[in-house]
Every structure is written in C-alpha cells, then in structure tokens.
Amino acid sequence: MPLRQLLDADNLPALDRRYALDRPALGLGAGDPPPRILLLYGSLRERSFSRLCVEEAARLLQFFGCETRIYDPSALPLPDQVAGDDHPAVHELRELSMWSEGHVWCSPERHGQVTGIMKTQIDHLPLNMGGMRPTQGRTLAVMQVSAGSQSFNSVNTLRVLGRWMRMFTIPNQSSVAKAFNEFDEAGRMKPSSYYDRIADVMEELVRFTVLLRPHAAQLVDRYSERKEAGVQIDPATDLSGIPTASR
C-alpha cells in the first residue's frame, strides 16, 4: 500500500507546548471522530524537503487530534499512461481522498512552479467518480519549499488547483525558503519561524475542517446537478423558503 510510515509521531522537538493548543477546534463542532487528513508531497528524492515538511505537518495534526495518512507517489503512473487509470497506486490515491475530510499539499518550487509529481497526483483525482466526489467539499492547506529565497509561486498555483477541484482552501499557507537549512541530519525541522507558520497552518486546517464537516454534503449540493439527475425539490421537506423572523 503506497503510504509513508510516520516515524516519531509523538516527538515534536520544535514545538513549544507551553503555547500549543492540543484541540484548536474545540467549540467549533464535533471533534469525534478525529478529522481525517490526507497529505501529498511533490518530490521523490531520498531527502525530499516537501516530504519532510509534510511529515512535520502530520505530526502536528496528530497532536491536534487528527488521523493522518501520507501518500507515497513513487509508484504512480502518469495520467492516461494506463488504460482507464486501472492501476493500484491510482486506486489507492482515490480511495484515500474519499476517506479524507481535508488535504495538505506541499510542492517544491521547480522552474518557478509546482513539480510534475505534485500535478500528477492532482490530475489523478477526478471531480466526479461514479457519483462520488474525491475532492469536492474538502478543506485544503497548501505549502511549498524552495531552494532559494522565499517564493509563493507554488502555493499560488496550488490554490488555483484547489479551487478547480472545488475544495475549501484555508487562508493561511506556508512557504519555506532555503529548505536545506531548515532540517537536521535526522530529517527533523529545526525551531524557526517557518516551523511556527506550519503549526499555524495546521491549527487553521483543523478548525476549518471541524467547522465545515456538518455541512459538507450541503455545500456541494448544486442546482445544475440536481437538474441533470432529475432530482426535484420536495416542498414538504424544503425549508429554504420558510421566511425567517425579522430582526
């Protein structure tokens, strides 16, 4: 199964727990079951900084009470390379997205843009799949890593892609400059403002995911799709036309 195993999930050396909320979405909605977050990264290098960032994000999300899964794209074929996308890695990616309530996407910036690995994963996620929606209505947090100075090209593109996939991309984002300086030999992120921003982004993702989860089905209920499917509105159950009391 193409999943990355997260090592030292409970070890957060760069997090100052004196200032960390273990349940940042408390009071915004039901925290049980734990929010389900799928994390994607965009490089196959042995020391992939986008993967290392995603792993730090997954540890933080677990600390915040989430269930996480990190997809390993190393076996993923190119879009349309396999007839009907009938490939185990494609099926697994789509099943993981169906399982999820929210996503984290982290891409390196290469030639001023997201990598092909990152785009391939997104291209394998259809808007509609046999009446099921692998991405629609889910929350999304975007991050990028750069080899040079701080840039926002990749996160801006990921926002465009998230909107196209009909996801709710949260306002905050992370861009890690000179990522090779931000991790120790063991692959753990050093304490820094970059790490603090990732913690901020994950806090916000948890909040938006919990806040939207009771309304996920209604938020993707569309007139055009009801019309195409011939699903008529039943006046006996439609409450949208009931006038509200004047203020």
Tracing tokens 């699903």 back to the chain, one arrives at: 231
Tracing tokens 């913690």 back to the chain, one arrives at: 199
Tracing tokens 């991790």 back to the chain, one arrives at: 183
CA distance 106 to 104: 7
236: exposed, middle or buried (C-beta count within 10 Å: 0-12, 13-18, 19+)? exposed
Contact predicate 95/132, CB 8 Å: no
**pTM, full prediction:** 0.92
Tracing tokens 């843009």 back to the chain, one arrives at: 113
Widest pairwise Cα distance in the chain: 64
Pairing mode, strands 102-108 and 36-41: parallel
Q: What is the pLDDT of residues 212-229, one digit of tens each?
A: 999 988 888 889 888 988
When mean pLDDT is compared across 3-12, 64-73, 78-87, 234-243, the lowest value belongs to: 234-243
- At residue 23, the 3 state secondary structure works out as coil
Q: Omega of the bond prior to 33 within 30 degrees of 0, cis? A: yes
CA distance 220 to 10: 35
Q: Tell me what pLDDT residue 241 has.
A: 56
Q: What is the pLDDT of residues 22-59, one digit of tens each?
A: 999 999 998 899 999 999 999 999 999 999 999 999 99
The secondary structure of residue 152, as a DSSP letter, is: -
Q: What is the pLDDT of residues 94-147, one digit of tens each?
A: 999 999 999 999 999 999 999 999 999 999 999 888 778 999 999 999 999 999
pLDDT band at 67 (very low <50, low <70, confident <90, very high): very high
CA distance 122 to 165: 9
